[in-house]
Amino acid sequence: MFRIICLLIGYGFGMIQTSYIIGKMSGIDIREHGSKNAGFTNTNRVLGIKKGAIVFVVDVAKAMLAFAFATFVYNGMFAREFAWGFGCLEGADCLYYGVVDAFRIIPRVCSPMRSTAYAGGTFFASRYIIPGLWAGLGAILGHCFPFYLDFKGGKGVACVLGVIIMLDWRIMVFSFAIGLFVVATTRFISLASLLITLSVPILLFVFRYLRFIIDPIDGVGFWILRHAEEIWITAAICIIIWYLHRENIKRLWAGTENQFSFKRKSA
């Protein structure tokens, strides 16, 4: 149930359709101009960099706020559910951990779990990020498919960046570096967006999912795979973004994709 509620929380934040609002304030429906996409890149091309920057900042921020709000509401409840349901290997942040031994899990008690107000790997102490990830997914869905605009919104990249910022600072550094390098060398925003979203589940697997643990009792070391739900959520986000960029992929393949420019296109 908390997953559905977090999705709805995120969807509510995501429906703040910044480019559509900015377009209406400028006397146009942004979805009828340029690439007809309600996002930062099209706003920049049609209305200029200043209004495009406003769209970009707000769209990033709404995903961050959705992530923070959901984890603020559900952190305590979810942390207990996670610890008892799947086991945990976070030391003082869990109720118990399980040692894998010949295909069986042996629960062992550790120190009491600390309660924190937020959960995120970049700015906050707790590592319980799944409520925020579900809200982030909801924000992306709300941005891309707002019901009051006939489910025609943007492509969700700025919201993805907001989720990454809240997710883990290491993932943020590596994925953003990939995106900046691609934009600097090719000026293809779409290609950078595709590679950033593809890198997130891969980096999440490396930094947060795969662990080498040494049993403090017998000193035996072993590899474990944990927090699989995080991988599936970010993989789902990647699939959504790639699907929404399917026309961009075709143009990239054909060599006809538009390159990014700070200059406003003439009407």
Question: Is residue 261, in this structure, part of any structural domain at all?
Answer: no
- With a CB cutoff of 8 Å and minimum separation 6, the contacts of 108 are 96, 97, 98, 99, 217
Alpha-carbon distance of 151 to 116, in angstroms, equals 36
> Is the residue at 140 inside a domain?
yes
Q: What is the pLDDT of residue 237?
A: 96
Strand partners, 214: 221
Q: What is the 3-state secondary structure (H, E, C) of 179-209?
A: HHHHHHHHCCHHHHHHHHHHHHHHHHHHHHH
pLDDT-based confidence at residue 197 (cuts at 50, 70, 90)? very high
Q: Is 264 inside any structural domain?
A: no
d(CA 119, CA 191): 30
Strands (E), the chain: 96-101, 104-109, 210-214, 221-225
Residue 259 is assigned to a structural domain of this protein:
no
The confidence band for 98, taking pLDDT boundaries of 50, 70 and 90, is very low
Query: Do 133 and 127 touch, CB atoms closer than 8 A?
Result: no
Q: Is the dihedral of CA 63, 65, 66, 67 positive or negative?
A: positive
Residue 121 identity: G
Lowest mean pLDDT among 36-45, 68-77, 93-102: 93-102
In-domain check, residue 29? yes
Domain for residue 263, yes or no?
Answer: no
Tell me if 67 sits within 8 A of 18, measured CB to CB: no
Q: Of residues 196 and 35, which shows the higher confidence score?
A: 196
* Lowest-confidence segment of 66-75, 77-86, 174-183, 229-238 by average pLDDT: 77-86
**Cα 144 from Cα 228, distance rounded (Å):** 25
Please check whether residue 99 lies inside any domain of the structure.
yes
Query: Do 73 and 79 contact (CB within 8 A), yes or no?
Result: no
The helix (H) or strand (E) run that includes residue 167 is: helix 157-167
Domain hosting 153: range is 2-84+93-254
How far from the centroid of its chain's Cα atoms is residue 78's Cα?
A: 19
Q: Of 172, 159, 186, 173, nearest to 240 (Cα)?
A: 159
Residue 27's φ and ψ, nearest 5 degrees, are 85, 15
**CA–CA dist 28, 21 (Å, integer):** 9
Per DSSP, the three-state class of 23 is helix
User: Would you say residue 228 lies in a domain?
Assistant: yes
Q: Shortest CA distance to 175 belongs to which of 142, 149, 197, 153?
A: 197
What are the backbone dihedrals phi and psi of residue 105, each rounded to the nearest 5 degrees, phi first?
-105, 125
Categorize the per-residue pLDDT at 62 as very low, low, confident or very high, splitting at 50, 70 and 90.
very high
**pTM score, whole prediction:** 0.77
Question: Total structural domains in the chain?
Answer: 1
pLDDT at 109 over 90: no
- The per-residue pLDDT for 140 is 97
Tell me: pLDDT of 211 over 50.
yes
